[in-house]
Structure 1
């Protein structure tokens, strides 16, 4: 018997808030299909408040509340079976994060889970990479957000190890990443990849998706280190306004794309990866998979 359900995932990040509506179709004796029905992204940069002032501002809270009210309506219209809302680096670092989550629950009925870095890495690891991953190869999965970067190593089709680092695009824009942070990042990658002869990168996040789209590459084809390095030089050669006009970047993307590219290039350098694959999946996809797996168990 064919079973069709709709799940929703909300990702409250440091640079934007996303809602993914996913249609989950389970045919009899066949693999389950996950189809992105709708993806809404609202650029609310909570990280600019939190990483500098330690709290979410009143103005950004009001915008976040309106976003949650809108998402609540969209979920009702789509007749969602189940949802999960996860807040990451900005809300977990905000002194008023838990309080605002309670207020949003009271006003919208949406329960926001403020997850830690390990939980975030585990959810991202739940994303379905079987179509991309060669079970005989080793991959370093790099998910770059506004407040943190999650690293996961896959070896022979299974999760080998993962870790979250407070190195994110909004933190870098505000000069809030220390030399010690970069040293820890380098040491972890080198230590955990040294036993593997060859590593390939998997990149996720809005910035690497944008770079891949502009590259004109076909899905499944990787970006080379040389290409990414050349694109990084191009980005740095343009002003903020030129990046918007000439490259067609959104206002909230035109600044963070530079530190994001730096993070990917740094990960490639330390792991000695020559290519990065961009499957266009992220935390919201992992949330949907976690909801499905919870129902299946």
Structure 2
């Protein structure tokens, strides 16, 4: 069956179109748009009118692409910004009325399960690992081995939340970095106890950007996980933290929404790597959207 999955992320809307069988899929098309649906309202549990319009414009584009590819089934998944917004249901009704797309707003727990299902296409968990998906509204952590998920949690420590909660300089100064780390300490507290892992798998998203910055080229779709050189990754994270907006604007391998929030993402990533005693860092090309290809929204 030809299926499409739309991941309505807080920062980025992702679309994939694939031919799907029970045990495999063939990717036909993928794209992403930095909608920023959480900008201006996520910390007040609101989707602003401007954010909703950007979202509708992106979804109109995606609906047209689905029609062109003769997609038989569209799964559209609403995540952190939409599920927490007081006007989230109003937005989903608007999308249904204007575009005929049913948005299934999922819990953080379900999001974590789908992320695991996606990464499972690319990693066999012969060595246990911690999956992390850095979202704009939430971040999911899934500790897994060959028997499946050991522990999972979704925390509202997404990049857009931090970016809008803390006023920072450009570039970040030491006080900004300390403030971001203190914010994370205060929100996370002991909720990640027991999630320590020597191996961390970053689920696409920001980790694709890190890859593209290291290699100075677009990430080429493949089915296996990629292992980062730890020093190269930390060099990229440190560059992002030191950079100003003008420098990031000139970088061809950073998408616009990450030009805005990249330094905060880098501080948070380094904080997590240290907190969870990570020694090896991998990237899976797959995440929630691939995990949803064989998922029934009615379950």
TM range (shorter): 0.7 to 0.9
- The Cα offsets for residues 42-84 of structure 1, whole Å up to 9 and x where unpaired, read as 2211111222443212222222223222322222221222221
Q: Is the 8 A contact 2:122 2:286 kept in 1?
A: no
Q: What's the CA shift for 1:168?
A: 1.0
- The Cα offsets for residues 165-190 of structure 1, whole Å up to 9 and x where unpaired, read as 01111111112679475356362333
TM-score, length basis structure 1: 0.84
* Correspondence list, 1:89-104, <5 A: 89-104=80-95
SS in 2 for 1:253: helix
Return closer, same or farther for 1:192/1:134 CA change in 2, 3 Å cut-off.
Answer: closer
SS in 2 for 1:235: helix
SS in 2 for 1:252: helix
Equivalent in the alignment of 1:284: 289
- Equivalents in 1 of 2:263, 2:199: separation in Å? 22
Return closer, same or farther for 1:263/1:236 CA change in 2, 3 Å cut-off.
Answer: closer
- Equivalents in 1 of 2:24, 2:45: separation in Å? 41
Tell me if 1:37 matches 2:28.
yes
Q: Is the 8 A contact 1:91 1:97 kept in 2?
A: yes
User: Higher mean Cα deviation, 230-239 or 182-191?
Assistant: 182-191
SS in 1 for 2:257: coil
- Equivalents in 2 of 1:61, 1:286: separation in Å? 26
Q: How many residues align?
A: 280
Q: What's the CA shift for 1:221?
A: 4.0
Equivalent in the alignment of 1:190: 193
User: Higher mean Cα deviation, 200-209 or 255-264?
Assistant: 255-264
Equivalent in the alignment of 2:3: 7
Q: Is the 8 A contact 1:189 1:267 kept in 2?
A: no
- Equivalents in 1 of 2:68, 2:252: separation in Å? 35
Tell me if 1:54 matches 2:54.
no
Equivalent in the alignment of 1:213: 212
Tell me if 1:23 matches 2:19.
yes
TM-score, length basis structure 2: 0.84
Q: Is the 8 A contact 2:135 2:159 kept in 1?
A: yes
Equivalent in the alignment of 1:229: 234
- Equivalents in 2 of 1:167, 1:112: separation in Å? 23
Matching residue within 111, 118, 129 for 1:139: 129
User: Higher mean Cα deviation, 216-225 or 100-109?
Assistant: 216-225
Structure 1: tracts of 5 or more residues without a match: 27-31
Q: Is the 8 A contact 1:203 1:276 kept in 2?
A: yes
* Correspondence list, 1:62-73, <5 A: 62-73=53-64
Matching residue within 165, 177, 202 for 2:155: 165
User: Higher mean Cα deviation, 155-164 or 53-62?
Assistant: 53-62
- Equivalents in 1 of 2:272, 2:289: separation in Å? 23
Q: What's the CA shift for 1:149?
A: 0.3
- Equivalents in 1 of 2:111, 2:259: separation in Å? 25
Matching residue within 255, 259, 270 for 2:260: 255
- Equivalents in 2 of 1:112, 1:209: separation in Å? 26
Return closer, same or farther for 1:221/1:104 CA change in 2, 3 Å cut-off.
Answer: closer
User: Higher mean Cα deviation, 39-48 or 238-247?
Assistant: 238-247
